[in-house]
Amino acid sequence: MRYAHRAFMIGVLACGAAACEHPIAVITPHIEASELLVRDTSGRLLAQTVDNQRWTGGSIEVPAGDSLPLMIRLLDFQGREFSLESRGSDYSVRMDIEQAASAVWEPLTRFGWLRGFAPATTRIRIQIWHTDHPDFITPWLPLTVRSR
């Protein structure tokens, strides 16, 4: 046991001398987030991931022929909320919609529009893209596009 502790301490000292990353540091150019939040433009929380495995808050609803403005926010590993615009221009919010004919996502800088086209019960999945690949993908969230 004494030798294992000594090897660990030598590794820690060597790492510190070489200025390598601490194993739990969040200092990469990628989005390091633990959860995703969906808010309306007044700031009201509509849905939030839990362990990025499921959602709380219920489903999202939008009337057919209408639009719902949504703000996508993230929580870091310390529980602090942040937005993508605070991280630079290399990131974008994309949305997969199972029934593509029922709705479309139109991203803007500070929020985006979820536009309902045809009544349907479907699901959406939100992705945070970093240039050419996703850094964060949520589980599927129910979406209802209801008749007007």
- Of 30, 126, 32, 29, which Cα lies nearest the Cα of 72? 126
Q: How far apart are CA 43 and CA 95, in angstroms?
A: 20
pTM strictly above 0.85? no
Q: Provide mean pLDDT across the span 14-27.
A: 42
Beta strands in the chain (DSSP E): 35-40, 45-50, 54-56, 60-63, 67-75, 81-82, 91-97, 103-107, 112-116, 120-130, 133-137, 141-146
> Check: CATH 1.10.10.10 for 28-146?
no
pLDDT tens digits, one per residue of 66-88: 999 999 999 988 898 988 887 77
- Structural domain boundaries of the chain? 28-146
Residues 6+ away with beta carbon under 8 Å from 3: none
pLDDT at 9: 41
